[in-house]
Every structure is written in structure tokens, then in C-alpha cells.
Amino acid sequence: MDTMKAVEGQEFTFLAVPELTAAPGEGLRRFRGVAYGGGVITDHSMWDRVAFDLGSVKAADRMPVLLDHDPGQIVGFTGSVKIGSRIEVEGFVAEGEPGRRVASLADQGFPWQMSVRIMPETVVRLDLGETMKVNGRRVEGPAAVFKDSLIREVSFCALGADRETEADVFNMKEALPMESMRPGQDRDLAIQALNDEKNQFRSENDSLKSRQAEFAAENAELKGQVKALEFERRALAESLGAAREEAEGIRQKYEALRRSSREAVLSEDFRRLGLAFSAEDENIMAVVRAEDAVFDSFRKALGEVKPVAVPPRGAFENVTEPVFEAGAGMKTLAQRADEMREKEERNGN
């Protein structure tokens, strides 16, 4: 068993078979009928099998009577609605084209049927095998049971569904429970019914305007929130840009310090080995810019190289003969010692 809240605007329209009697005469025609017999209506296009809990159905005594549920086709109005084990309605067929059409076709024997538009507050769904007692009858699932329903209007239609209903149309001179009405009261009731319907439409229109104003206020509030979020987004973007610039400046300073430190370390290693260090040498600068692992490996390799021994000044001054036979590109030991001292002096400077 499943109970659900009825969707706003969700209405159920079922049809009932009325009986119309031909009774032409002066004044308004009256009608009387059973709009709902209290049982299960089957083969409905929307609900298939449905029953209405009459203990919770509400209806005004005076309601519009329409043709095919069309607000533009006003047939008349009800004078009373009785809800017990079934729904019984009595009312009047007003002057006008829709009313004359209903009365004329009834006089010719057309089998008009009665239809009631009903709006449920809640709907109880019965699954297969489930049962519920409704209006003193046992209702078996699958079926839908309407509770806390409101009848909005009654209509004359060409087709019907509830076989337990009936209706009669009478002349104003025929006896009905409402024969004590004063002269002209029938027309007053018709006007009152129309005014009631107009007031109802006006109330619904006011409600829609109120909801529209609420939506407009919510929309304005949302626009303000969007504007504030956009301002916050821009502020965050500016802060992020400043942070990136600051980070880039720190990175550049770190790179400059690391390069300067590596140049100093390599310069000392080269001096120890008697080699010349030049910041203009692309190979040396490639080592300075290399990753830590590459730089450390290069320094480790330099550490395994033994320094070149430089003879002291004057060690070969008394040597007149070359150590090696002078040939193309050959130098004496004295010449080689002088070159090494000059190189060391240049590196020291």
C-alpha cells in the first residue's frame, strides 16, 4: 500500500450516466442526479481502477455546471450537493447556448451523461492482493483510493464511466425539494454562481501574483549572490596572480644563489687542480645549471683527480741541455715549468 500526496492541479474526471426528461416550459430547467455511486470506477484512462472516499469528500452546494468541463460553456449551476453513500446533485440549466443545447438534445432523447471533476489531497495505492473498505464496500487492488477530495464542478458530457449514476432534467413547474424559491431567485443563483467562480479565479490569480513576486524576490537575491561570488572570484584571481609573481621572484633568487654557490665551489676545485675556471665556458656553465645529481657526480670525479705538481721557481735554471731532444713541438723542462708557474699566477689573479 502506497500513500502519496496529490500533485497540485492533479484532478480526476469521471463520467456518470444521467437521465434527462423533456419538459419544455417557462423558467429554468432543473436537473437532479447521482454523480457517483460509491463503488469502483474501472477502465479509466489515467487511473484504471479508482474509488473515492466519500467520508472525506467536500463540495459547495453551489457550483458551476459546464459542458464537457469547458469554463467557456456554462450550462448552469447546482443548488445542492448531498454526500452520503453516494453523491447526489440538484441544480438548474440556465438560459444560454450551452444550456439550450443540453435541454434541446435531452428533449430529442439524447443520452446525456454526468461528469464530476474531483481533486484529491492524497492518493492511496492498493497493490495486487491488498484490500481496503471504502464507502462500506471492499475495494481490492490494484486500485487507487482518493481521500480528502474536493469537487470543483459538474459537467454534462457525451460519455460516462460510472454505471451507478443517473440524472433527470425537469421543468421549473415540476416539484423538486427546491420549489420554495422566490420568483427570480433562480437567476440570482445563476449570477451568484458565476460571481463565485469569478471570485475563485481572482483568488487564484492573486495567489499566482504573490508567487510571482516571491520568485522575483528570490531571483533578485540569487543575482546578488552571483554578483558577490563573481567579486570574490576576481579577488581570489588577483591574489593568486600576486602569489605566483612572488613565487617566481623567490625561485629566481634561489637559482641565482645556487648558481653563484656552484661557481664558487667549482672555481676552488679547478684552482686546486691547477686548472683555469671561466664563467664564459659553456661546458662549465652547463655543469653549473645541471641537476643536483649531475653536479655532485662531476665534483666527485674532480675529487679523484690528483693535482699537478708545479716545480719551484729556479729548479731548472742550471739545466742548459733539454731533457728531451728538441723537436717539433717539444719544450725543455724549464720552459714547461715556467708555463705552469705563469698559469698558476693567472689563476691566482
Whether 266 shows a pLDDT value over 70: the answer reads: yes
Amino acid letter for position 248 = E
**183-209: average pLDDT:** 70
Task: Compute the distance between CA of residue 332 and CA of residue 318 in angstroms, rounded to an integer.
Answer: 12
The mean-pLDDT minimum among 35-44, 114-123, 214-223 falls in 35-44
Write b or e for each residue in 123-160: b if 16 or more Cβ atoms lie within 10 A of its Cβ, otherwise e: bbebeeeeebebbeeebebebbbbbebebbbbbbbeeb
Looking at residue 204, its pLDDT comes to 85
Altogether, the residues listed in the chain come to a count of 349
For residue 90, give the nearest of 170, 162, 146, 12 by alpha carbon.
170
Distance, in Å, from the CA atom of 339 to the CA atom of 349, rounded to the nearest integer, reads 15
What pLDDT shows up at residue 192?
Answer: 65
pLDDT value, residue 252:
92
Residue 314: pLDDT band with limits 50, 70, 90: low
Which pLDDT value is given to residue 168? 60
| pLDDT given at position 13 | 62
Closest CA to 116 of 31, 15, 9, 6: 15
Among 15-19, 34-38, 49-53, the minimum mean pLDDT is found in 15-19
Rounded mean pLDDT of 335-347? 71
Q: Which of 5-19, 99-113, 138-152 has the highest mean pLDDT?
A: 138-152
Q: What is the mean pLDDT of residues 143-157?
A: 90
- Residue 148: pLDDT band (50, 70, 90) is very high
φ/ψ of residue 84, rounded to 5: -135, -115
- Average of per-residue pLDDT across 61-90: 90
Q: What is the mean pLDDT of residues 39-60?
A: 86
- Residue predicted with more confidence, 310 or 24: 310
Q: What is the model's pLDDT at position 189?
A: 55
Whether 189 contacts 197, CB under 8 Å:
no
Beta bridge partners of 137: 134
Residues 324, 329, 330: CA angle, nearest 5 degrees: 15
Residue 262, all three cell numbers: 656552484
